Structure 1
Amino acid sequence: MTKITGIIVPCYNEYNRLPKEKFCNFLTNNPSYHLCFVNDGSSDNTLGMLNELRQFNPQKITVLNLEVNQGKATAVQTGANYLADLDFVENIAFLDADLSTSLEEMDNLVQKLNSNPQLTMVFGSRKADESANIDRNIIRKFLSNFVGFFIRFILQLPIKDTQCGAKVFRKSIIENVYSQKFISRWLFDIEIFLRLKKHIGLKDLLNTISEEPLDSWIEVEGSKITLKDSLLIPINLLVIWFSYLKIRTRIKSASTIFNLKAEYNMVK
């Protein structure tokens, strides 16, 4: 039986940027995919454009609509929870609407996941040593490396690129990743890894995820992250760090109390 992968495409004011023909051509040539476009409260006619796109293949294209803009994290979460309820979907992925990472690259990630039953998550990397043809603004590259240092400090994981917008998961872990609302609108990728680390444990996590180098990645103009969002990144990182640090502390405290009670009962 063919494994169907649902790809979430979060959309905010993408009316003039979304490459409709590429999505249509990909579906025609790759029947094992289902596209789930999530309109994140766009102020332009993105929703109308997506509904027209759906007519190309109503069986393979879903359009979800958030009436108020809530950020990429909520858009992806909405799509993930919707796809998780579809019996025919086995893998769930997300990809940026501008296709800075191409659909063909996503297909490579999915094939990697399907070929190894031990893996539960595969994600693209623009910073892996083998990555090639990565076209990025030099200033943004510097800022990305600067922010990446703090992200690696928070995660304590040997991951080079957490923020690449191309990730695919087995359906079995979706509830652990997407059941709770994310703290950050844009840095939710970090929370994904923190949630998996908490759920699976560090050792098992490293054996069940795979960071794959991208053959190509192109930075498309028209980023939805504003200057204000960029300035708030350090604050958001601190909020995420302290929030998940508190969770770990509560878990350790509860575990300590449980062990003490067990020892006390044994002494009695």
Structure 2
Amino acid sequence: MTKITGIIIPCYNEYYRLEKEKFLTFLGNNPLYHLCFVNDGSSDNTLEMLNELKQINPKNISVLNLETNQGKATAVQTGANYLAELDFIENIAFLDADLSTSLEEMDNLVQKLNNNPKLAMVFGSRKAEESNNIDRNIVRKFLSNFVGFFIRFILQLPIKDTQCGAKVFRKSIIENVYSQRFISRWLFDIEIFLRLKKHIGLKDLLNHISEEPLDSWIEVDGSKITLKDSFLIPINLLIIWFSYLKVNTPSKNTIAVGQLKVNYTMVK
């Protein structure tokens, strides 16, 4: 069976940053991909631009529109649940719209997943020892390392980089990861690992996920996370930690932290 991978690209005011030609060229060279752009209530002309992209390649591009800004977590979650309903989709991934991690790097992660049937998730890492050409602001790097310490404490897993915006999952685990609303708008990656840890179990989890070093990663100007958001990160981490401590070991279905109810429209 041909394995088609759906890639979710959450978009909020990306009109001046999104490089349309790179996405179109990638699809032209890689027909086993489907791109799902989720417009997260943008106030600029992002939605119009995404509509133009869909008109160029309607077969391999979907556009979902959230009327109001919900945050990256809900945008990705909406895309994941939509793609999970498509019969031809085998894997589901998400990638930042600025392509700080390239589409080619994503393809490497997907191939890793496809080549190892034991894996349920593969994710990129900017901190693995083998990573090359990682271009990042020194202040953000310091903050990332500082926050990373607390994240590793919460997860109790030997993961170097939870926050890289390049992850791919087998469709079979999407319900367990994405059916329930995330607590955080931006730190939902941590919740993904906590949900997998509860679903698969700590003992077996490391046999089902793989952290892969990126050959390149470039920090692109125009981050949607404000200075205020950065100061709130420790508080958000504590909220996530205590919330998931309350959750009992789930059944084979999902972790209940609130049903996801989001209204969106699909651009035709």
TM-score, length-normalised on structure 2? 0.92
- Counterpart of 2:255 in structure 1 is none
Partner deviation per Cα, 1:68-102 (whole Å, 9 max, x = no partner)? 00000000000000000000000000000000000
Is it true that 1:6 corresponds to 2:6 in the alignment? yes
Aligned counterpart, 1:36: 36
Q: Which residue of 1 is the match for residue 266 of structure 2?
A: none
Q: CA deviation at 1:17?
A: 0.1
Map of 1:96 onto structure 2: 96
Counterpart of 2:256 in structure 1 is none
What is the match of residue 109 of structure 2?
109
Match of 1:83 in 2: 83
- Deviation at 1:56? 1.4
One-letter amino acid of the structure 2 residue matched with residue 63 of structure 1: V
Indicate the residue corresponding to 1:137 in structure 2. 137
Report the alpha carbon displacement of residue 248 of structure 1 after superposing the two structures with TM. Answer: 3.8
Q: Deviations over 1:6-32 (max 9, x none)?
A: 000000000000010000000000000
Q: Offset of 1:174 from its aligned partner?
A: 0.1
Check conservation: 2:199, 2:249, Cα contact below 8 A: no
Where 2:93 maps in the other structure, the secondary structure is strand
Distance of 1:151 and 1:75 partners within structure 2: 22
Deviation readout 1:146-188 (Å, 9 max, x if unpaired): 0000000000000000000000000000000000000000000
Q: Which residue of 1 aligns with 2:264?
A: none
Residue pairs, 1:172-187, within 5 angstroms: 172-187=172-187
- 8 Å CA contact retained: 2:184, 2:236: yes
1:10-57 deviation digits (Å, cap 9, x = unpaired): 000000000100000000000000000000000001000000011111
Inter-CA distance 93–249: structure 2 relative to 1 (3 Å threshold)? closer
CA distance in 1: counterparts of 2:152 and 2:248, whole angstroms: 17
2:217 aligned residue: 217
Q: What is the CA distance between 1:2 and its match in structure 2?
A: 1.7
How many Å apart are 1:204 and its aligned residue? 1.1
Task: Give 1:122's aligned residue.
Answer: 122
- Closer, same or farther in 2 for the Cα pair 1:250/1:63, shift >3 Å? closer
Partner Cα separation in structure 2 for residue 132 and residue 203 of structure 1: 30
Counterpart residue number, 1:161: 161
Equivalent in the alignment of 1:203? 203
Distance 1:30 1:226 in 2: 35
How many residue pairs align between the two structures?
251
Equivalence for 1:151: 151
Contact 2:148 2:161 in 1 (8 A): yes
Distance 1:125 1:74 in 2: 23
Give the Å deviation of 1:228: 1.2
C-alpha deviation, 1:250, in angstroms: 9.7
Structure 2 gaps of 5+ residues are: 252-268
Secondary structure of residue in 1 paired with 2:56: coil
More deviation in 200-209 or 79-88?
200-209
Q: TM-score, normalised by structure 1?
A: 0.92
Q: Which has the higher helix share?
A: 1
Aligned counterparts of 1:249 and 1:149: Cα–Cα separation in 2:
25
Give the structure with higher Rg (CA).
1
CA distance in 2, matches of 1:250, 1:193: 14
CA apart distance, 1:249? 8.2
Structure 1: 4+ residue segments shifted above 3 A: 248-251
SS at match of 1:10: strand
* Aligned-partner Cα distance in 2 for 1:87–1:41: 28
Report which structure shows greater RCO (CA 8 Å, sep ≥6).
2
**Hey, what's the Cα distance between the residues in 1 that align with 2:225 and 2:248?**
30
CA contact (8 A) 2:199 2:250 kept: no
Secondary structure (helix, strand or coil) at the match of 2:247 reads: helix
